[in-house]
Amino acid sequence: MTNDQANILQSTENPNSEVVRPLVEFQLSDYVTTRLTWHVLSRQRWWMNHEFMKNLPYVPDTAVELYFWTLGPYFEPQYLAARVIETKFTCLISVLDNTYDAYGTFEEL
């Protein structure tokens, strides 16, 4: 929870906090879910704009899966740029790996 979110929760301390606090907590969790959905969709849009699946039919659509992998080490909000870079890099490595799997010979592998 960020400082802004904590300040919002503290400002709800009043006689009606039993009613208000759960609503504010729900609104904050909905905000986090909305932001996560936006980030996932923007990574998917980047993947689709490059048309990897159209040009390279052997490459699976794994952009969303790879984005969730980067949420492990970079889960805090200030690491958004690192998640974007790591996701794009991992996607490109995945394309390269699938190319070797599809066209490589046993000697090369």
Tens of each residue's pLDDT in the chain, 109 residues: 555 555 555 554 554 555 556 656 655 666 666 777 777 788 888 888 888 888 888 888 888 888 888 888 888 888 888 988 998 899 999 999 999 888 888 777 6
Q: Are 40 and 64 in contact (CB under 8 A)?
A: yes
Contacts of 6 (CB under 8 A, 6+ apart): none
CB 55 within 8 A of CB 34: no
**Residues ≥6 apart with Cβ < 8 Å to 75:** none
Tell me how many helices (H) and strands (E) the chain has. Answer: 5, 0
The pTM of the full predicted model, rounded to 2 decimals, is 0.63
For the chain, domain boundaries: 29-103
Contact 12, 24 (CB under 8 A): yes
